[in-house]
């Protein structure tokens, strides 16, 4: 194997992973092409050669030095064929895709339809890759959200107010669940869980009557909008509420030590999987051990194993 390419999505820890891919490949005297703008760059032939020096000083940076985009053209056959031309014309013998569900779905298409040697690395703040305990970027995201939440708690406590805080997570409530437990929140609304707003409003009124005035309620974006929930709470309880939408700050920031270590391990592992002829696999870490699973499994819906236990704990500790 003489040349591989790497393309990425966006979250903290991805730069550390690119660094690991490039420096591991250089040990085996394999060239690495960095594809700009994700699948868009594969279609347009937008790339640069990466070497040991070009990835220095990036281990601590959030985002991706390769930039990224959402590419609708890659979902079409003509877009995919253009991407294949870039791969063939540039003698790319293997591709590493670092990203979440959408990126891994693209990797699976390249592998199944076009027989391109591909390894995915699970990296997304959503932690929604099935069969993988924790994706790169998720630990940083919950710590960024938690930092914001601690600040919100300061003012919520001072003014004795109800705050409804919206976090990311369209289909997977990982960020909401973990942030709510770590942040000592009173309630969390998740895509995976049924929810009764009347019960919550009754609990708020009962708590209020006993002197509990400050509440922090987390809403995952895939479940509802914080503004809608806050409006209903005010209507039903007549109490003042404030909303905060944390938004894209959750995807940025300096990667935590945990994310950097996972990124370093997985970057090296992915290169070695390609060298050993593996393909169509997604690399991740379960129980602190490096594993690879079929991309077919990785893109299936994920169930949060800890959901019931953590949710009960949130309610017990309120």
Catalytic residue numbers? Answer: 126
Nearer to ligand F6P, 100 or 117 (CB): 100
C-alpha atoms less than 13 angstroms from C-alpha of 200 in its C-beta half-sphere: 22
Q: Which of residues 220-249 bind ligand F6P (CB under 6 A)?
A: 221
Q: Do the beta carbons of residue 227 and residue 211 sit within 8 Å?
A: no
CA-to-CA separations, 38 to 2, 22, 68, 98, 106, in angstroms, rounded: 22, 17, 5, 9, 10
Q: Is 130 in the site for ligand F6P (CB under 6 A)?
A: no
Least distance in angstroms from the C-beta of 15 to ligand F6P? 17
Q: Considering the complex, state which of residue 24 and residue 124 has its C-beta at the smaller distance from ligand F6P.
A: 124
Using only the alpha carbons of the chain, give its radius of gyration. Answer: 22
Q: What is the DSSP string of 132-168?
A: -S--BTHHHHHHHHHHHHHHHHHHHHHHT-EEEEEE-
Strands 187-189 and 215-220: parallel
Asked whether position 124 contacts ligand F6P by CB under 6 A, the answer is yes
- Residue 100 makes contact with ligand F6P by CB under 6 A: yes
Least distance to ligand F6P, CB of residue 246, Å = 11
Q: Does 127 bind ligand F6P (CB under 6 A)?
A: no
Residue owning tokens 């940025």: 252
Q: Binding ligand F6P by CB under 6 A: which of 41, 117, 169, 284?
A: 169
How far, in Å, CA of 143 to CA of 33, rounded? 32
Q: Which of residues 137-156 bind ligand F6P (CB under 6 A)?
A: none
- The residue (of 168 and 266) whose beta carbon lies closer to ligand F6P is 168
> By CB under 6 A, is residue 97 in contact with ligand F6P?
no
Binding residue for ligand F6P, selected from 50, 92, 144, 168, defined by CB under 6 A: 168
Residue with tokens 């708020």: 204
Rule CB under 6 A: is residue 38 a binding residue for ligand F6P?
Answer: no
**To the nearest whole angstrom, how small is the minimum distance from the Cβ of residue 9 to ligand F6P?**
8
72 binds ligand F6P (CB under 6 A): no
DSSP 53: T
Report d(CA 241, CA 119) in Å as an integer.
47
Per CB under 6 A, residues contacting ligand F6P are 70, 100, 124-126, 168-170, 221, 251
């Amino acid at each position: 194997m003489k040349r591989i390419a790497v393309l990425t999505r966006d979250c903290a820890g991805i730069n550390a992973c690119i660094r690991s891919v490039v420096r591991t490949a250089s040990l085996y005297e394999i060239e690495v092409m960095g594809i700009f703008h994700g699948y868009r760059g594969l279609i347009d032939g937008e790339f640069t050669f990466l070497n040991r020096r070009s990835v220095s000083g990036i281990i601590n940076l959030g985002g991706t030095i390769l930039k990224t985009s959402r590419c609708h053209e890659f979902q079409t056959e003509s877009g995919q064929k253009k991407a294949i031309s870039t791969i063939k014309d540039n003698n790319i013998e293997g591709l590493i895709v670092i990203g979440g569900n959408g990126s891994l779905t693209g990797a699976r298409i390249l592998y199944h339809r076009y027989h391109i040697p591909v390894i995915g690395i699970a990296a997304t703040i959503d932690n929604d890759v099935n069969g993988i305990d924790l994706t790169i970027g998720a630990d940083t995201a919950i710590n960024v959200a938690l930092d914001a939440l601690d600040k919100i708690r300061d003012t919520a406590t001072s003014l004795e107010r109800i705050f409804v805080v919206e976090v990311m997570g369209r289909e997977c409530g990982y960020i909401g669940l973990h942030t709510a437990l770590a942040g000592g929140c009173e309630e969390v609304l998740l895509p995976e869980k049924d929810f009764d707003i009347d019960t919550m409003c009754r609990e708020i009124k009962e708590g209020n009557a006993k002197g509990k005035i400050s509440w922090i309620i987390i809403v995952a974006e895939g479940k509802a909008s914080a503004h809608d929930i806050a409006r209903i709470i005010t209507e039903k309880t007549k109490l003042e509420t404030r909303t905060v939408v944390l938004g894209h700050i959750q995807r940025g920031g300096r990667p935590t030590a945990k994310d950097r270590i996972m990124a370093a391990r997985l970057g090296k592992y992915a290169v070695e999987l390609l060298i050993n002829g593996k393909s169509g696999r997604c690399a991740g870490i379960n129980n602190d051990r490096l594993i690879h699973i079929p991309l077919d499994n990785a893109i299936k819906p994920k169930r949060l194993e800890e959901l019931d236990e953590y949710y009960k704990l949130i309610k017990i500790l309120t």
